[in-house]
Structure 1
């Protein structure tokens, strides 16, 4: 009896244990299912976030590309080609009198009494520039003039005695020997008259050379004499004149440029500090080249102008002929410390910089001596707002020719 109750109690405990084991296994399965579900949800959220961010990036890139395409600027360009333009040579040099006349003492000199001209005045040929004191020379000339009269009186007396003697020869009162002496006396007296006259004329000529006079008509450039100054043969140059007021420019050119210039080449001279354009013409090309500077001198004759001052500096533009070269508007050519340059649009519509050498500047534009073939697309306007590497949309404009 007791044994049966014990068996029943054991069976009851075994059933209870099996129940709890089943419940524990069910809870483990539930937790596993929940964990797997949470992991799946996390993976799904990560995938969705990645896919969404990639789509947003693509959309943003597409929007940026569209905006960039819309911001490409239109740029006016020109294809200049090659046209006939005058070739000009730029030069500089000094102004000088074409025919400078140094004026000094021609006579024996003396003390200067008056100076009658100032630099910048025009004078005629033979005009007196300065007066030299001649008080002593005048007295000497007066003395010589009196000696002429004395000699002339002696000659008249000798002639009269000769004539009286000739009247007495036929009567035998005077011998032939006496006649020869009287004739010789008459001839000697006449000779003394001529000597006195020559001495007087010499004195007059010498006195006439005391004053300083202009050898030819022209412009007085400098004056180096003052009243009271004692001058003589060793005094040097007292005045400098430009004959006829004619001026010239002594332009310095390189060996290569000398070959392109001939006598008769036209030129335009601009004195420094002025806007004057004075027309001139080459009248002499130097036959030699300076061994140190490798330059030669071209002499350009120019008419008189108050702006042309000998010793001053001037620029010259010599037209030496015509050549084929690209011609650009002035707005297309820019400058920098390295020199002149233009902006070129290449085949990919990208801005490139091209160094050029500027030639002749004309009313039609600026010719390019080197650096371009004439087939390039050159930016005409707004070059200062563009940079190398910028992409542009070129708009072609007809070249100005």
Structure 2
């Protein structure tokens, strides 16, 4: 009995100690929580009222998060500048005044060819000679006939003078004087006829030489020594008068209306990088009904790189205008036409339809649709939608 009572007493004491320990722990947790709350309150009091209300802080965080998700675009204010109106086209190079040279006389066998393509010649210079052995003999015969006719004329003149001296003495009659006068006149006429025949033969002989009609550049040669030529042989040489060249540019009907005589032009032969300056000297008065194109002829000074028959491109500066100019990346296109995106005061993208003009290395000319003071999106325009809010970044000036 005493043993059982002792065990019960001991158990009661252990339960009392456990309850006391748990109570102390609870008080420790309560005190620690109060300390933490006091520290938080102290920190808040130290910061004062600088923190916005909880609602405003939430709104600011949301706005900051939204701005970070907006697409960034680069924009520029293009303004207006003087832009030259440039008309482009292509065409063939040719001699401005091409001179075909052929047989002017009766022809014959070619004995010598004195020039080659690419050579410069003077007016009247011999290009080729034709055999004239027969014609020379004919000219010699006529020269001999002239000498004989002059001798007859001199004899007739002397006889007339003697007869006139005897007329006063009564040895000859007036009729004899008239006959001798007629004989003298006939002899003089035969002299003139023979001289004319000789000059004609000499002129024909000179025409046996193929000569340059004017100073210029020999372009082609289609005759060789030993070749038999005649008036039906066609063109033997082709020349460029003065070496002047031209580009016969094929232009659309609308472009041809804007071209004027004297307009400056830049010509670049195909396969080369060198550009030649010229000016329009003739505009075609007719339009090809099949291609709806016309020809503008651009005069060029001689240069070995300008070869007739070659192909070249041309840029004709037909005038100027003040207009905005944008890089090609800023101009978009769809089924409704060309357009750009501009930014309104709220940084939202607004579609603006535009009309484009000439395209060059400097960009695209906007002929209508922009004033030049708008904020125009330069990049990322293809990924925008009308009304979409963006984060704008102005392009740095170069």
The TM-score, its normalising length taken from structure 1, stands at: 0.73
Of 218, 233, 240 in structure 2, the residue corresponding to residue 242 of structure 1 is 240
Q: CA deviation at 1:324?
A: 2.7
Q: CA deviation at 1:361?
A: 2.5
- Residue 191 of structure 2 is matched in structure 1 by 193
2:136 aligned with 1:138? yes
Q: CA deviation at 1:72?
A: 5.8
- Residue 170 of structure 2 is matched in structure 1 by 172
Contact 2:355 2:369 in 1 (8 A): yes
3-state SS of paired residue (1:289): coil
Computed over aligned residues only, the root mean square deviation of the Cα atoms, in angstroms, reads 3.2
- Residue 38 of structure 1 is matched in structure 2 by none
Residues in 2 aligned to 1:203 and 1:171: alpha-carbon distance in whole angstroms: 48
- Residue 269 of structure 1 is matched in structure 2 by 267
Of 230, 233, 255 in structure 1, the residue corresponding to residue 231 of structure 2 is 233
- Residue 359 of structure 1 is matched in structure 2 by 358
2:216 aligned with 1:218? yes
Describe how 1:24-63 pairs up with structure 2 within 5 A.
none
Q: For residues 151-209 of structure 1, what are the alpha-carbon distances to aligned partners after superposition, in whole Å with 9 as ceiling and x for unaligned? A: 11111111111112122222222222121111111111111111111111111111111
3-state SS of paired residue (2:141): helix
Describe how 1:303-322 pairs up with structure 2 within 5 A.
303-322=301-320
Farther off after superposition, 170-179 or 93-102: 170-179
Contact 2:323 2:365 in 1 (8 A): yes
Q: CA deviation at 1:301?
A: 1.0
Describe how 1:152-167 pairs up with structure 2 within 5 A.
152-167=150-165
Contact 1:351 1:387 in 2 (8 A): no
Structure 2 regions of 5+ residues with no counterpart? 1-60
3-state SS of paired residue (2:299): strand
Contact 2:75 2:375 in 1 (8 A): yes
Q: For residues 256-277 of structure 1, what are the alpha-carbon distances to aligned partners after superposition, in whole Å with 9 as ceiling and x for unaligned? A: 2122111111111111111122
The TM-score, its normalising length taken from structure 2, stands at: 0.73
Contact 1:79 1:399 in 2 (8 A): no
3-state SS of paired residue (1:322): strand
Structure 1 regions of 5+ residues with no counterpart? 1-62
- Residue 206 of structure 2 is matched in structure 1 by 208
Residues in 2 aligned to 1:80 and 1:229: alpha-carbon distance in whole angstroms: 70
Residues in 2 aligned to 1:399 and 1:118: alpha-carbon distance in whole angstroms: 58
Q: CA deviation at 1:255?
A: 2.0
Contact 2:325 2:366 in 1 (8 A): no
Contact 2:332 2:340 in 1 (8 A): no
Change in Cα spacing, 1:276 to 1:298, as seen in structure 2 (3 Å) is same
Q: CA deviation at 1:289?
A: 1.4
Residues in 2 aligned to 1:356 and 1:398: alpha-carbon distance in whole angstroms: 26
Q: CA deviation at 1:304?
A: 1.1
- Residue 86 of structure 1 is matched in structure 2 by 84
**How many residue pairs get matched?**
331
- Residue 184 of structure 1 is matched in structure 2 by 182
Of 309, 325, 328 in structure 2, the residue corresponding to residue 327 of structure 1 is 325
Residues in 2 aligned to 1:245 and 1:291: alpha-carbon distance in whole angstroms: 33
User: Which structure has the larger Rg?
Assistant: 1
Q: CA deviation at 1:110?
A: 0.8
Residues in 2 aligned to 1:399 and 1:358: alpha-carbon distance in whole angstroms: 24
Residues in 1 aligned to 2:282 and 2:147: alpha-carbon distance in whole angstroms: 58
Residues in 2 aligned to 1:310 and 1:369: alpha-carbon distance in whole angstroms: 38
